[in-house]
Chain A
Amino acid sequence: MNQNQETRQFFSTKILAEIIVLVSLAGALSLISHSFFRLPQGGSINLGMIPIFWLALRRGWIIGIFAGAVFGVVDMTIEPFIVNPIQFIVDYPLAFAALGVAGLFRKYAVVGVALGGFGRFVCHFVSGIVYFSDYAPEGMSPLVYSTIYNGTYIIPSIIICAMIMGILQKSKTLNIYL
């Protein structure tokens, strides 16, 4: 199985299978958290990011970004919210791919998670500006709106993910079955 030189695969089968199963775990967790902790604004505290962070910290940022992009498309089929072709690209594949950046700081899980979460926030922030400006009345800044709307659900999610990833890293679950 290791002599597949001529097929030029990006990942080995084992890693691809890991990506697939963890992305669907992320989808399952985000489904469950949607039904458990709802926020009044419509966003939700989402545990779905944890498997993506976990994969990024375990296998590095390239795989993290790939897995994040796949998860973005999966999340889109679970709960589509699309109002604009640009918003669709930025809000789904790009925003979740940004989570994979966590893999750059493999020694410090909390720093990596914070960075990945910040990347996701920036993507949602930009898309919020793009799509809200279609409906915003004259003279209202979409910047404030986008910050408040996205901040209320992403920041608590990031704090929770960072704490849980810190615990998971300390308990050495990151390196099982490597």
Chain B
Amino acid sequence: MSVFDGLKFRRVYSPIHNLDPRIKFVYVCAVFVVAIIFSEILPLIALFLMPIPFVLLAGVQKEWLRSLRGAAFLAGFIFIVNIASNFFTSGYVLTAGAVETSAAMTLRFVVLVESFSVFFLTTSPDHLGLALEQTRVPYEFAFAFTTAVRFVPVLAEEAQTIMDAQKARGLELEKGGFLKRIRNYVPVLIPLIVSAIRRSLELAEAMESRAWGATKKRTNLYALKLHRGDFALLAITIGVLVVAIYVRLYVPVPAISQFL
């Protein structure tokens, strides 16, 4: 199944993947703040280009392009709505300035979606779980999260197998009216849920045999520590914020339509 291949556990090493997820999150929030305080197109283009070195360094170009495509629909929607409202309120004339503002709004949306998706593309669920744990999220929650993410491809494959098995027995999933089609999913769901519950009993035994919850204070083999790269990213974040606030306060940002 090609759909689930993207989820299969794989350990990736790259300078970006190894960064501390907490620092990466702070960086993404800084990008968010900068994108919100500017509504001119030039700084937004700069913000749009900023994650590209990170993407190339982490080697996730393909996934990045796919998430860009996913955002394209809503981006187009925002562009059209902005253009249209500008067109109707300014007396049915389309100015270059209006097009530019609409493009800037769209670009702001794309920048935000992209910066968050780069965060998820370059952060393994394990790291995310560790970060949750070290930011004092209850351990049960962090553990449930990491383990559940690991189990998703396994259960997806099992669901696929059960669907195939029921089809081989003559269950027609794509036939009949609306009601019939929904009822058709029940023979798939019941075995799935039963086998999931059985699997949970096994998981509980495995957890107990490894002394789950026996000690109050847990320690980790891999603890998140700040390395040189993390401080570098932190410096970049602070630099971006300072420059952005300085430009916002003291430098008038030119619009492209003024040059035309």
The interface of chain A, by Cβ under 8 A from chain B, is 1, 4, 6-7, 9-11, 13-14, 16-25, 27-29, 31-32, 35, 42, 47, 50-51, 54, 66, 69-71, 73-74, 76-78, 80-85, 88, 134-140, 160, 163-164, 167-168, 171, 173, 176-177
Contacts and interface: CB of A to CB of B under 8 A. Distances in A.
B81 interface: yes
A22 to B, nearest CB: 6
Given A18-B197, A35-B3, A163-B182, A140 B212 contact: no
B206 to A, nearest CB: 8
Contact of B194 (A18, A139, A164, A176): A176
Contacts, number: 184
B152 A24 contact: yes
Interface in B182-217: 182-183, 185-186, 189-190, 192-194, 196-201, 203-204, 207-208, 212-216
The dominant DSSP class at the B interface is helix
Contacts of B156: 27-28, 31-32
Interface string B64-88: 0001001001100010011001100
Contacts of A80: 67, 116-117, 119-120
The dominant DSSP class at the A interface is helix
Contacts of B29: 85
B159 interface: yes
Interface of B: 3-4, 7, 29, 32, 36, 67, 70, 73-74, 78, 81-82, 85-86, 89, 105-106, 108-109, 112-113, 116-117, 119-120, 125, 128, 132, 138, 140-141, 143-145, 147-156, 158-160, 179, 182-183, 185-186, 189-190, 192-194, 196-201, 203-204, 207-208, 212-216
Contacts of B132: 73
Contact of A1 (B7, B208, B216): B208
B131 to A, nearest CB: 12
